[in-house]
A and B are shown apart, each in its own frame.
Chain A
């Protein structure tokens, strides 16, 4: 059942909401397609661990099309597409999942629409997750995590207590390998949305540990995990991660 099929602007995007809901003061977590897909893996972990429910799916020309069955439930016959929105009412949290890169020439228009839609829903603030090339990290002995925040960001005091540093950048914010994070941050700030970029320096490879660490840091910013002691033990990997490194070798090679 589709509530509110909304079309707008030149991209003719379609936002299909599965429930008619307001998101007053919810925090939105938005992943960027970046080095090692760390942000997307972190969002997968959040969605799976918090048993979040899908509330919207977005079709846009700005997104490279991807389709398959629900990656969080192997028995499901519901489709999953390039951009979806998940909600946890308990935590007042919205997590987007972006499963494909955004086409650069449509990026600004699409991301502006995302921010406009979220502001219409009255969200409180946004956390943009991304990653950057490990070789861009200038101070070797420091934490691999960096953040950038605007003045109205509600986490400005909490984030300073964590083991992460402010990202050093000139007036034109750049996060190398970080995808559309800086563009989304700029748009959010222009539209006066409280916003934080949180990223990790890493390399391509097995990026699951990076995602775990990222979620652990987020859980220090947001009250999303009950028991802070064994935080990582409470994370649940989605079943779709089972074959992240390929299928078993064929038996006839032995």
Chain B
């Protein structure tokens, strides 16, 4: 809503924080709730970022996840599937917090032999000259040191990029000279988690025990949302 005569400039896509009104120091730092001991070695550390995965994991009884710890003030939970595989589920979608979340995950990331991240994005954000009718496009971003995780998709074409905790984790691994692989799933319907490709991915990463295409109650109902 604007008043008559007011000049309305498009809100800058660049300024995430207001640099012109400096500065109330935000001293709120995040920390682990239980402060669990960091294991000496982890075979694979997985980061799941995006509603589709999270809804699916939370609603299904066939996941293998056991709660380990969580970060206060934001929605980040750490699970393990066994002593050698940890899964971090990131619900917080504030990009400004992502580097701090990565900082808290750093001890786990450093001791891990391999790191895999999965995130979902709306298909509309996928930039390509090719016109396609696919409902789900999966691409990878790999560090210079090759990840041993056997999940292979085409590399993410420029100018597409990934952001958030997944990007931070892969950047950190690259800068430390360690291996890692980011998987990004572009979905037509971002809330949709019945897509077989996603479930197969979770199964191949040993997060769920079987591919289950049964649907969620709300999406199945006659409610139009």
Contacts and interface: CB of A to CB of B under 8 A. Distances in A.
Interface of A: 2, 5, 12, 14, 16, 33-37, 57, 59-71, 74, 77-79, 81-82, 99-101, 103-105, 133-135, 174, 176-180, 203-205, 239-244, 246-248, 250-252
Interface residues of B, number: 55
Contact of B15 (A2, A82, A177, A251): A177
Interface string B14-41: 1111011011011000000000000000
B50 interface: no
Contacts of B141: 67-69, 79
A243 B131 contact: no
A133 B161 contact: no
A246 B158 contact: no
Contacts of A239: 158
- 6 closest pairs, A vs B, by CB? A65-B168, A68-B161, A240-B159, A65-B167, A59-B175, A243-B127
B103 interface: yes
B143 A79 contact: yes
Given A77-B142, A105-B25, 11 more contacts: A12-B103, A35-B14, A62-B99, A66-B163, A69-B141, A79-B144, A79-B174, A81-B171, A177-B15, A240-B159, A248-B131
B207 interface: no
B102 interface: yes
Nearest to B28: A105
Contacts of A180: 19
Contacts of A33: 14-15
A154 to B, nearest CB: 28
B61 interface: no
Given A68-B156, A69-B158, A240-B159, A179 B96 contact: no
Interface stretch (B4-12, B75-83, B217-225): B4-12
B214 interface: no
A104 B23 CA distance: 8
Interface of B: 7, 9-17, 19-20, 22-23, 25-26, 95-96, 98-100, 102-103, 126-129, 131, 133, 141-144, 155-165, 167-172, 174-177, 182
A interface SS class:
loop
A105 B97 CA distance: 11
A68 B10 CA distance: 27
Contacts of B127: 243, 246-247
Contacts of A36: 12, 14
Contact of B158 (A35, A82, A203, A240): A240
Most chain B CB within 10 A, of A2, A67, A174, is at A67
A64 B156 contact: no
Interface SS majority for chain B:
loop
Contacts of A104: 17, 19, 22-23, 26
Contacts of B162: 66-68
Contacts of A70: 158
A103 B17 contact: yes
B29 to A, nearest CB: 10
B99 A63 contact: yes
Contacts of A61: 99-100, 102-103
A231 B208 CA distance: 59
Contacts of A134: 9
A66 B102 CA distance: 12
A110 to B, nearest CB: 11
B14 A179 contact: yes
- Most A-side CB within 10 Å, residue of B20, B100, B103, B143: B20
Contacts of B126: 247
B20 A177 contact: yes
